[in-house]
Structures are given as structure tokens and as C-alpha cells.
């Protein structure tokens, strides 16, 4: 979970129930997955953008995983391996130009979501392209980017 996650209430029991039943909990984003996956990552995972087109990208900022061998070996290990591979998460020296992703641009591989894209590809292929049945929005979690919280008073 990253620092942008905010809970609407203190009750996370539904999230924990999903994790215990399915092995993980993750939310999806409003964009389709292949929009944010570069061709080098598709090659690494031996898949094609058109196969990922029906699926929403996952949000890697809030991901809860059950501590079990399936999730460790089938999800986390390939995710870490991709991060260390020369051309998977890191698409090359011109990666900075892949950060900006404007809504006006449509199509496949418009920009790159790095580790988030890798996680989505892994989950879709692992669950035999039925990921949409396992990834659902949760009304208890908000993502608040650029939300500033003053934790420490100015003492200087």
C-alpha cells in the first residue's frame, strides 16, 4: 500500500475476506490494460496487446496478498523477476518519455506503468484471462494523489 491510499472507514473486513477467499485483493483502474504496457514487456511475458484489450489495468498502489505458496510463486516471484529483467519493467533509456499519458491519446502502448503493468499482465495470464471476475472496485478505499497531510508542525 502506498501513501496515497485512504480508507473511508476503519472496517477492512470485506477486504480481508476477499484476500482469504481469492488469495489477493486488488482494484482496477478506468483504463484498459494494453494502453499502458510497452511492447518490450509484452515480449517478455510472451503475450500480445490485443489479448489484454478486454481487461482494465490494475492499481498497484493497494495490493493485499495472502501469504501462501501460490501467490508467492505464481505472482510475486514473476513480478520481482520482471523488475530485474533488462527489458521488462525498465523499457529502455528513453523511459522518461513514457511517463506522460494523456487522455487524448488512444491505442496500445501509449505510455508505460512499469511495475503496475507487469502485475496486471501476470494476474491476467495466471487466472486464464478471467481477472475481471476477481478484481472489483471497493467502496472503502480512496486513492488521493497530491494530498498533503501536515504530520509535523513547523517548529523552526
Q: pLDDT band for position 141 (50/70/90)? A: low
Q: Which residue has the higher pLDDT, 83 or 115?
A: 83
- pTM, entire model: 0.74
Q: pLDDT band for position 82 (50/70/90)? A: very high
CA pair distance 28, 63, nearest whole angstrom: 11
For residue 140, the model assigns a pLDDT of 61
Q: What percent of the chain has pLDDT over 70?
A: 74
Average pLDDT (130-139) is 54
Q: pLDDT band for position 57 (50/70/90)? A: confident
Angle value at C-alpha 73, between 71 and 77, nearest 5 degrees: 105
CA pair distance 47, 33, nearest whole angstrom: 13
* Phi then psi dihedrals of residue 15, to 5 deg: -65, -45
For residue 136, the model assigns a pLDDT of 53
Q: What percent of the chain has pLDDT over 90?
A: 11
Domain residue ranges in the chain: 12-136
For residue 2, the model assigns a pLDDT of 62
Amino acid at each position: 500500500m502506498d501513501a496515497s491510499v485512504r480508507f473511508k472507514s476503519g472496517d477492512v473486513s470485506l477486504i480481508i475476506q476477499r484476500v482469504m477467499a481469492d488469495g489477493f485483493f486488488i482494484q482496477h483502474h478506468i483504463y484498459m490494460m494494453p494502453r499502458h504496457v510497452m511492447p518490450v514487456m509484452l515480449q517478455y511475458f510472451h503475450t500480445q496487446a490485443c489479448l489484454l484489450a478486454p481487461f482494465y489495468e490494475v492499481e498497484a498502489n493497494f495490493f493485499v496478498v495472502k501469504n501462501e505458496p501460490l501467490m508467492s510463486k505464481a505472482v510475486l516471484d514473476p513480478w520481482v523477476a520482471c523488475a530485474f529483467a533488462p527489458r521488462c519493467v525498465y523499457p529502455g533509456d528513453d523511459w522518461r518519455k513514457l511517463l506522460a499519458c494523456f487522455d487524448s491519446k488512444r491505442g496500445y502502448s501509449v505510455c508505460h506503468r512499469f511495475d503496475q503493468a507487469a502485475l496486471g499482465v501476470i494476474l491476467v495470464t495466471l487466472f486464464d484471462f478471467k481477472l475481471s471476475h476477481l478484481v472489483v472496485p471497493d467502496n472503502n478505499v480512496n486513492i488521493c494523489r497530491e494530498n498533503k497531510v501536515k504530520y509535523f508542525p513547523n517548529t523552526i
